[in-house]
Structure 1
Amino acid sequence: MNPSTSHDPKHDPLQPFAEALRERVPSKEALLAEAKALSKKRRNKQKASCAGLLTLALAGGLWHLDPAWRSEDIQVAIGQRQEVRLQDGSRVALNSGSHLRIEWRLRSRQLELLDGEALFTVVHADKPFIVRSQGVRVRDIGTVFNLRSDARGVDVGVIEGSVEVSNKHTAPRLLQAGKQLRATAERVGSVEATNAAALTAWQHGKLRFDGRPLSEVVRDLQHYRRASIQVADGRTGELRLSGEFDSEGVEALIDMLPRILPVSLLRASDGSVVLSRTR
């Protein structure tokens, strides 16, 4: 054997075996490339898994929080009434000057009466039916109920079935048919007797007062006119009014008050009215 060619790879008898081995065993570079690809694949898979878990967590959180994903405002003009039918078949009758917000939520049917008066006829469903107003929460238990919301607070009266009335400071109070109460964000008042005729008189264009203090009467009349009506002082507000009147004739009723009660009437150029006791 020629010494000069003893280490020549071309004449190495093991060369074919080395080349076959290299074909079967990946090179260092190939192993590194494969390891990087595998790591990237695992990272992508972990990211996808984390993203899926995050999506599920967010969905679960949204379901628990019950956010409103859509809302619609309905405002009724002074002197008008309007009836709204909800998607579940429930109905809301709105009185003059009322402002209602309808909310679409995941877990509940919720509305907010921002101002005015509304009669709710609720269809039973799996999702609870809740009406909010001025920090007061009214939860329906398959019923027909009336809400009036103004500066005095929220008056809740039940015609059929029952509701639960609550705020942040009090536990839910059960209110059954033929009963009413007044609530605010701070307190829930005592339960009093009422009847369907009194609660629904406004739907028939009537105003019914049974010995109602003039301060309360004025608040009711305010729903039917833009310009303000005021009583001059507490003594004037203590006067009481009884009778049934046409809600479309509020101006005529105001002009009639000095003939019914010991009050004087002062009208300003902007339409506002001030009532003062005369004796």
Structure 2
Amino acid sequence: MERNVILKYLRGETSPEERIKMLRWLEKDPAHLEEYKYLRRIFDATLCNEENIPLSIHSSRSTNRRIWMQVAAAVAFICLFAGGTWLYTQHLSENQAELLATRDIHVPVGQRTEITLNDGTRIWLNSNTTLHIESQKGKDLRRVCLNGEAYFEVTPNKHLPFVVQTGSHEIQVLGTKFSIFAYKDRNDFSVKLYEGAVDVSDKQNATTLRLSPDEEAKMSDGGQLIKAPFDKTESLLWIEGIYHFEDTDYASIFRQMKEYYKVDFDVRNPQILQYKCTCKFRQEDGLKHILEILQRIHRFEYEWSDDEQTVIIR
């Protein structure tokens, strides 16, 4: 695979044809996946904004030094296209490079990533997710905008509330652990709280809910923001690259696969949507493997459309 195509994929700039080609290349050989992981680490280390926000490098000798993100980006891309991928990746690993701040992050289809903000807040981003981080300079809060799925461990700061904006919803915290599912082209929305407290606001209906640990805010069938308890036992397996479904109907599984792999599903037999299963999949196994497993649980046939953008299921 040409590295310029891999780079476009990391940036989320591939055409539909290039994306399909990329996913098939990854599935073809484990060595391809390992090469991709090397390039992914470099790309993650070079995410930067337009304000030259510095990157902190923590060395194994416990000494800290500051370097500018643009320098890191320049070195990384030279390594990327000059064949020095392994050396630069090793350098980052040995020095435990930590990404402190950025502006826009997009996680490509079928991938996930983790970042650390300059206040110590850690964020895990799932497949096909975009995060915009606003500059904090001169502001009395910390704000990010999310389209997709993420898990947050927010560093406490009573003087600077942390706010997540997701379309028509807003989540405000001081310091806590919570997850959000909010893809802009989906009606599904949920906030699950694991520790601390959060306020979830629905601006359209002028509703605000205060969540306690083990509570979830979500939209009811009638379009109202409600809260309910949830089982957190395996709700964050996606952070480890595992998709877990518990007694879930195929309609819901297909909706999530649409977001994670950016493909459409055309189900010609409505009965298939009512099938249910309890199962786990590894993200790296790819959509083809997931469909094959679902076929074994409840029989159906599928094929790709001519443009390879839609899975037709019968």
Per the normalisation by structure 2, the TM-score is 0.60
Mapped contact 1:164–1:174 kept (Cα < 8 A): yes
User: Separation in 1 of the partners of 2:151 and 2:269?
Assistant: 32
Q: How many residues align?
A: 206
Map of 1:121 onto structure 2: 153
Secondary structure in 1 matching 2:236: helix
Say yes or no: does 1:108 pair with 2:144. Answer: no
Map of 2:292 onto structure 1: 255
Secondary structure in 1 matching 2:234: helix
For residues 264 and 146 of structure 1, do their structure 2 counterparts lie closer, same or farther at Cα, with a shift above 3 Å needed?
Answer: same
Mapped contact 1:146–1:158 kept (Cα < 8 A): yes
Greater Rg by CA: 1
Secondary structure in 1 matching 2:260: coil
Map of 1:197 onto structure 2: 233
Map of 1:180 onto structure 2: 216
- Stretches of structure 1 lacking an aligned partner (at least 5 in a row): 1-69
- Deviation string 1:105-151 (CA, Å, 9 cap, x unpaired) is 4121111112x211110011111111011211111242101111121
User: Separation in 2 of the partners of 1:171 and 1:252?
Assistant: 42
Mapped contact 1:159–1:195 kept (Cα < 8 A): no
Taking the TM superposition and a 5 Å limit, the aligned residue runs for 1:1-279 are 72-105=103-136, 106-114=139-147, 116-125=148-157, 126-150=159-183, 151-168=186-203, 169-183=205-219, 187-232=223-268, 234-249=270-285, 250-271=287-308, 272-276=310-314
> Partner letter of residue 241 of structure 2?
G
For residues 182 and 197 of structure 1, do their structure 2 counterparts lie closer, same or farther at Cα, with a shift above 3 Å needed?
Answer: same
User: Separation in 1 of the partners of 2:167 and 2:146?
Assistant: 8
Mapped contact 1:255–1:265 kept (Cα < 8 A): no
Q: Percent identity?
A: 25
For residues 232 and 141 of structure 1, do their structure 2 counterparts lie closer, same or farther at Cα, with a shift above 3 Å needed?
Answer: farther
> Partner letter of residue 239 of structure 2?
Q
For residues 170 and 253 of structure 1, do their structure 2 counterparts lie closer, same or farther at Cα, with a shift above 3 Å needed?
Answer: same
For residues 189 and 266 of structure 1, do their structure 2 counterparts lie closer, same or farther at Cα, with a shift above 3 Å needed?
Answer: farther
Which structure dedicates a bigger proportion of its chain to strand?
Answer: 1
Q: Alpha-carbon deviation of 1:232?
A: 3.5
Superposed CA RMSD in Å reads 2.4
User: Separation in 2 of the partners of 1:173 and 1:234?
Assistant: 36
Mapped contact 2:112–2:241 kept (Cα < 8 A): no
For residues 190 and 233 of structure 1, do their structure 2 counterparts lie closer, same or farther at Cα, with a shift above 3 Å needed?
Answer: farther
- Deviation string 1:222-260 (CA, Å, 9 cap, x unpaired) is 233233234346543222221122122232111232221
